[in-house]
Amino acid sequence: MNELMRELIENNVGKVKKDEPLARHTTMKIGGPAQVFIEPFSVEGLEKTMRALKKYKVNWRAIGRGSNLLVSDEGIEGAVIKLGNNLNHMELNGSDLTVGAGYSLVALAVLISRKGLSGLEFASGIPGSVGGAVYMNAGAHGSDISKILTEAHILFADGTMQWVSNQEMEFSYRTSVLQKKRPGIVVEARFVLTEGDKEEIVAVMQKNKDYRKVTQPYDSPCAGSIFRNPLPNYAGKLIEEAGLKGFQIGGAQISEMHGNFIVNAGNAKAEDVLDLINYVKKTIYEKYNVQMETEVEIIGKVKEM
């Protein structure tokens, strides 16, 4: 691992740290250390990083703004690549948008709405980066990334980069081909938007933002929705009807505002969150015979769920 770090530093790929606590880089403020933590300065730095990881046969994981993630208390073996502000370029040509993976999805949605372009209203309250949103097909309010993405520029584990079409991304509910078949890092995304009435678009954005503000606990450290909706049921509704709002294990608590959110109520560990997830799964199955599946991505060494 020392040889990997030395090569990354010599090639000036970006910031390179050893045993960096991932609690500093997740919205839940939970997570042990990354054995090697890399924040590339550029796409070129990212490519050099991937070549070095392949050369030294080191496992890797990419993150954006750390939402939708639960990192184990023991941390991550291998490398964690953070796509941050150095990959937040944007180019708008009429209604065609090309944007870097590190761009804040919320900031992008606000900027686009003020230009009278429609398509990203659903994203007005989704924390995270464009890359992460494409990776998991983020969505809300009846829409998602798959509805507007034309293609994504992907850096694959073998070091090759290519543009992948919407169809080739194999989007489904909160899922893409990058999770299922072809591990890779979203470097850029291209979206096609629609011209509309600026005031109407901004009004919808504000309505979505206000709804999230009064129904979801984004003022507290959390990872977003914990469970996928077991359609035709809704995860939050089932959890609330089971009387679990406010239930707490260790420092992890089911939000008083929304049943499908777990908040870090104070020095929570990943183990507390996992225990709470398992408790919810068991309770909902016993009460309603419904199997709950997690939407939050759990990474690192964890005990059996």
Q: Is residue 304 part of a domain?
A: no
Q: What's the average pLDDT block by block, 10 residues per block, for the chain (305 residues)?
A: 94 96 96 96 94 94 91 95 89 95 93 93 87 92 93 92 96 89 93 94 88 85 93 95 97 96 96 97 98 93 57
* pLDDT for the residue 305: 44
Would residue 167 count as lying in a domain? yes
- Cα 155 → chain centroid: 17
Distance of CA 55 to CAs 2, 8, 241, 276, Å? 13, 12, 52, 40
Same domain for 197 and 234, yes or no, is no
Q: Closest Cα to residue 23, out of 238, 287, 270, 281? A: 270
Q: Give the pLDDT of residue 303.
A: 55
Q: For residues 133 and 266, what is the distance between their CA atoms, to the nearest angstrom?
A: 28
Q: What is the pTM of this model?
A: 0.88
Confirm whether 305 is domain-assigned. Answer: no
Q: Could you tell me if 160 and 135 are in contact, meaning their C-beta atoms sit under 8 angstroms apart?
A: no
The residues annotated as belonging to the active site are 174, 225, 295
Specify the pLDDT at position 164: 97
Cα separation of 210 and 125, whole Å?
A: 9
End-to-end CA distance of the chain: 30
Instruction: Identify the pLDDT of residue 218.
Output: 79
Instruction: Let me know if residue 147 belongs to a domain.
Output: yes
Residue 230 sits in the same domain as residue 165: no
Asked if 95 and 202 sit in the same domain, the reply is yes
Q: What's the CATH number where 112 sits?
A: 3.30.465.10
Q: State the residue range of the domain holding 122.
A: 88-214
Task: Give the pLDDT score at 205.
Answer: 87
Same domain, 99 and 31: no
